[in-house]
Chains A and B, each alone.
Chain A
Amino acid sequence: MISDDQAEQFFRSGHTNNWAVLVCTSRFWFNYRHVANTLSVYRSVKRLGIPDSHIVLMLADDMACNPRNPKPATVFSHKNMELNVYGDDVEVDYRSYEVTVENFLRVLTGRIPPSTPRSKRLLSDDRSNILIYMTGHGGNGFLKFQDSEEITNIELADAFEQMWQKRRYNELLFIIDTCQGASMYERFYSPNIMALASSQVGEDSLSHQPDPAIGVHLMDRYTFYVLEFLEEINPASQTNMNDLFQVCPKSLCVSTPGHRTDLFQRDPKNVLITDFFGSVRKVEITTETISLQQYSEMESSYKEDQMDEELMEPLKYAEQLPVAQIIHQKPKLKDWHPPGGFILGLWALIIMVFFKTYGIKHMKFIF
């Protein structure tokens, strides 16, 4: 028997599925830490239950198989090399040159070209809780993508509004770990958005520690402490958002993390971490059994199919280098296209000028 509070808690959150969009916007080897940031969040989110099909992971550069990585196929978050956040089971949806502002906004708003595969789409609905994590180099009001373009906080706020209008989310948690990160959430105006940033306007977010073997900084401070916090969460834990707000105080992070909850309807102390980082799985256990068809029944039908599927003439493999045939093949005639309007107009002009200068009497020789 479940009590009333348990039943109420079951329905409190209001969402039925979870999505995560994790974006690393920096290219080049010295921005290793941004990729490590994103992969740590990816790892936590997968561990807490969100499957790969519900995660859109965008990494702007490849660090794991970078020729400068002394340990290929690994990305570490701590200099003791304990935690390989790249893992063995990673699926990156947008990589390298595909991580652009346009693709990011298209993923959020759903306005994607029709041939995009499913793994690259955010197929959320109005009962989805979405976690959006962004990291890279940023400034007051913008975030830099791959050193060639940037996204402004106004564009981001408008994208979220589009998502709200199209009913693409139930609640949204936006986390950003860049310099002056708080400027990115200043302009949000859509409901049900909670935002966290690693530093206030005018402050820089600092990196955690360099590693002498790899030669670069491995992670940023804010995400490092968030990862430490998330490692203690399991899918059943009841920790709420207020604990996440306290994660990296100024003594550890040097910058002041900020958060914004005025657009969010629920009280942060009632919002569980697993509402965004974990996945809702309401499982029903059944005691009925289902019997599967025996394999041997299918074997008997195999023989009769074998008889009636033979073709008349034997087939053969193609010759890989038929020299005689290649030498004597005629070049394929390109399809003839009628001349376009411009060429026709030009010729008409030339002919008109000719007849005007030399007189119309020449016409009778043509017709």
Chain B
Amino acid sequence: MAAAESPSAALRRRDLCSRGIRLAGKMRADVVDLLDAYVEQQGLDASASVAAMEGVPLAAVERWDEQTGTQRLLENLAAYRAFRTLLAQMLEEQREQLGEADAGLGRALAAVLLQVSAFAYHLEELLRLESRGIPGEEGDGPPPPPRLSLFEQKLRGLGVLRELAQWAVRSVRDLRQLGKPSSAAGTAPGLAESP
């Protein structure tokens, strides 16, 4: 049975969740803009299907409403740590391919990378608040990408940004669940009340 949360901890949690929701919302808007720019600059078809790629965390989840708060935080943290590495790889590839020719896209990628890093830190704060140990990052990141062709790199980048956009929405929903007054991370999930 989870210990009752102190009022100050509950307030702090709700505050962190509210700020996290705003961060995730801004991040999502920027990722969507970046996605549009990326598709255009890379000459891709926006409607192209991209198969799931190794190392890219999938936002899709079954029984989302049954997750505990801790599960939500841990899965979010793992995902954004992976995205941090993936975006850094994309930025490097971008510089190699285009050099300074596409500084705008590079800047946009760097800005999103910064937001992803900030959000990962924010999630760590929430985990600390829940007195949960922060999982180490060793072996957490995606494996080093196999040597991909230029086109495969572009498709992978498309997949990364798409999943990141989905994760941003999922994170908003997760934090909203966490921020509910009745919710504390380790307790049983609050199942949605259906009319």
A and B associate in one complex? no
B interface list, Cβ under 8 A from A: none
